[in-house]
Amino acid sequence: MWRYFKWGFRIFALLFVFLFFHYVLPQHDVVRVTNTYNRLTTVGANSIFYSAPDVGTAESATTRDIRFIEAVRPNDKVIVYRNEDTGWVWPPYFKYDSSNLQAEASNLKSTKEAPQWAVMTHYGWRLPFLSIYPNAISIREVDSPDVRLIPWVNIIILTTIALMLLTLRRMWAQFRERSIDPVLDDIDEASDAARDRAQGFWARFMGWLGSWRGKPRR
């Protein structure tokens, strides 16, 4: 029972970490932009999936004018991006050129007959149920929809995080070896000594009791 609980917890934690990175790290889509516009949007319970209200584009905490980019993937499925500044803290893209990006996207608008393909860098998810949209980060033209995209940024970020975690573990091991273990050893020694003394006292006491019954002291 306890084992199932422990494994369940581990799987849940791993899933959470995976989803966290999947949401926050940049991803590339090959798309054809079909429309760009802004729409007054009410942000309510889903507000953690939008920018913080203080980054400049918001008029109030709940209702704001948000830029959107509509696009089509090569497989004819549609995708809608929001285009918001991220502000200075989270997620750390430090994006403040939403207006320019909107203009670039408008410039790349094209029709099905004469498609102009582009690679859209974005983070986030499109979940219609929660009314949330991925945030567009940048866009660049490509000649054909079959470009090979290598996620260098993600490779570098994930490697760096793994190295930092390993370093942190090494630091903790060093701290334990040099600072905690010696103290614990001291405590061990002290308690051993105390036990010896107590045993000595106990043995003497028993010996003294025994002397009442005529047993010779050892």
Residues at the interface with another protein (CB under 8 A):
52, 54-55, 87-89, 92-97, 100, 137-138, 170-171, 174-175, 178
Least distance to another protein, CB of residue 204, Å: 41
Min dist CB 116 to another protein, Å, is 19
Shortest Å distance, C-beta 174 to another protein? 6
Identity at 188, one-letter amino acid code: D
Q: How far apart are CA 45 and CA 49, in angstroms?
A: 9
- Residue 156 or residue 203: which is nearer to another protein going by CB? 156
Task: Tell me the Cα Rg of the chain.
Answer: 32
Of 72 and 82, the one with the shorter C-beta distance to another protein is 82
Taking the complex as a whole, the smallest distance from the CB of residue 58 to another protein amounts, in Å, to 12
Nearer to another protein, 31 or 87 (CB): 87
Comparing CA positions, the residue from 91, 77, 107, 103 lying closest to residue 27 is: 91
Distance CA 95, CA 102 (A): 13
Task: State CA 117 to chain mean position distance.
Answer: 31
Whether the CB-CB separation of 119 and 88 falls below 8 Å is answered with no
